[in-house]
Amino acid sequence: MEEIFASVNRKRLTLKRGKERVVANRHPWIFGGAIASEGGPADAAIGDLLDPDGNRVASGFYSPRSEIRLRALTFDDEELTADLIGARVTSAIARRRSLLNDRTNAIRLINAEGDELSGLVLDLYNDVVVGEVGNAGIERIKPMLLEIIRRELRPRFVYLNNDLPARRLEQLPTEPEAIGEGTPATTILENGLRFEVNPAAGQKTGFFLDQRENRALARELSAGKSVLNLFSYTGAFGVYAAAGGATFVGNVDGSDIAIDQARRNHDLNGSTNIAQFMVADAFAHVRKLAAANEHFGLIICDPPAFAKRRVEVDRAARGYKDVNLYAMRLLDSRGVMLTFSCSGHMSLDLFQKVIFAAALDAGRRISILGRLTAAPDHPVSLYCPEGEYLKGFLLQVHE
């Protein structure tokens, strides 16, 4: 493994003259357009970035087929070694230990650029570690990674999804890897509530840990309220709402598998009696509820990323506006709403404009009580603000 870091095995990428400043801001993504020439072995996983005079200015993971040719991990004189990467992994885990306690045993351990480990996402679900390895560099240091995971966390099971599109681009295997006893299914504890997680079946890494604090907020806001949980997936927001004293929780999701999971999670927490489970298109469902003059004290709207690519932002904005507009019409007098966008390409500014347009058309007087983001185990590097995908608002109607 060490040998992939040896200088003879590294790609040497020389910057175009005039592009020297691409490293000035320490942004980890170095695009192919800034590179004048490439030397060194074709199958290199590690690359050095040289200025036009041949001085090394950065080192990182090399991807011959990605637009992002180099994911810089170190700059200037800092040597890129296996030990340095290992130390970053250990440090990322150590920084999160305080989040684990007898009420919460599921956290994100490593958040790619947010932990200076571009291409690596690791989540802990109780006794199971779930990972996404997105580039050839991480793939090659996997033995070291697994060793650190074993030493630091002693998991029963490690499950690597291997389903990122980037892996296909890099011609890495796309079969999942399951290492351990039994199955990767487990039950987690989050803020004292229990959830089933099956990494082999779920979306993304199985359970959206980034919403943990926003779910806790939903619990605080739910006492005595009738709650609508749109795009409910695992039903997690609904379970929190019920735990917070909601009188009714309506979970709505287009997937019957998700709705079954939501039902089991309500069961696990003893709140099936006040909950409803609807397999329905959320866009159609909010219209139906509005036509029936239904009202809710708290609405959660957490759709999937409508804009996966920049060109889809306009269409996504229309989708967010539509579902939020009808949801706003369903709010009780002084009702509150937690509304989210997890599209990386939709900025907070644009999302606020969309919410404004929805309120205007819904004819409701609405204020922002709070701005919401991902939980702190999903850090965003100041040097790579693209990592900030989840944004949301806590809204309230006045009248």
Stretch that binds ligand SAH, among 65-73, 76-84, 229-237, 372-380 (CB under 6 A): 229-237
Site string for ligand SAH, 191-210 (x = CB under 6 A): -----------------x--
Per CB under 6 A, 75 contacts ligand SAH: no
Per CB under 6 A, 227 contacts ligand SAH: no
Single out the residue of 74, 162, 211, 271 in contact with ligand SAH (rule: CB under 6 A).
211
Catalytic residue among 122, 252, 300, 342: 342
- Would residue 342 show up in a list of annotated catalytic residues for this protein? yes
Task: State how beta strands 186-190 and 391-397 pair.
Answer: unpaired
Using alpha carbons, select from 252, 203, 243, 253 the residue that is nearest to residue 220. Answer: 243
Other C-beta atoms within 10 Å of 251: how many?
30
Per CB under 6 A, 306 contacts ligand SAH: no
Decide whether 44 or 301 has the Cβ nearer to ligand SAH. 301
Sheet bearing 68-75, strands edge to edge:
29-31, 68-75, 56-62, 46-50, 11-15, 35-39
Q: How far is the CB of 215 from ligand SAH (least distance, A)?
A: 7
The label of the residue with tokens 């939903």 reads 218
Task: State how beta strands 366-373 and 11-15 pair.
Answer: unpaired
Single out the residue of 231, 277, 351, 393 in contact with ligand SAH (rule: CB under 6 A).
231
Other C-beta atoms within 10 Å of 310: how many?
10
Site string for ligand SAH, 236-275 (x = CB under 6 A): xx---------------xxx--x-----------------
User: Bridge partners of 275?
Assistant: 249
Stretch that binds ligand SAH, among 53-61, 97-105, 161-169, 228-236 (CB under 6 A): 228-236
- As a whole number of angstroms, the distance between CA 247 and CA 249 comes to 7
- As a whole number of angstroms, the distance between CA 46 and CA 145 comes to 16
Single out the residue of 248, 283, 383, 389 in contact with ligand SAH (rule: CB under 6 A).
283
Q: Are 324 and 358 in contact (CB under 8 A)?
A: yes
Stretch that binds ligand SAH, among 74-82, 216-224, 278-286, 289-297 (CB under 6 A): 278-286
Q: Are 5 and 80 in contact (CB under 8 A)?
A: yes
- As a whole number of angstroms, the distance between CA 277 and CA 124 comes to 28
The DSSP string of 15-37 is EPTT-GGGGTT--SEEEGGGEEE
Task: State how beta strands 366-373 and 331-341 pair.
Answer: unpaired
The secondary structure element, H or E, covering residue 289 is helix 282-291
Decide whether 2 or 281 has the Cβ nearer to ligand SAH. 281
Single out the residue of 234, 251, 265, 381 in contact with ligand SAH (rule: CB under 6 A).
234
Decide whether 208 or 326 has the Cβ nearer to ligand SAH. 208
Decide whether 75 or 237 has the Cβ nearer to ligand SAH. 237
Decide whether 5 or 195 has the Cβ nearer to ligand SAH. 195
Stretch that binds ligand SAH, among 69-77, 109-117, 175-183, 233-241 (CB under 6 A): 233-241
Q: How far is the CB of 98 from ligand SAH (least distance, A)?
A: 23
Q: Are 60 and 78 in contact (CB under 8 A)?
A: no
- The DSSP letter of residue 135 is S
Instruction: Kindly determine how many residues on this chain lie close enough to bind ligand SAH according to the rule CB under 6 A.
Output: 18
Catalytic residue set: 342
Q: Give residues in contact with ligand SAH (CB under 6 A).
A: 208, 211, 231-234, 236-237, 253-255, 258, 281-283, 302-304
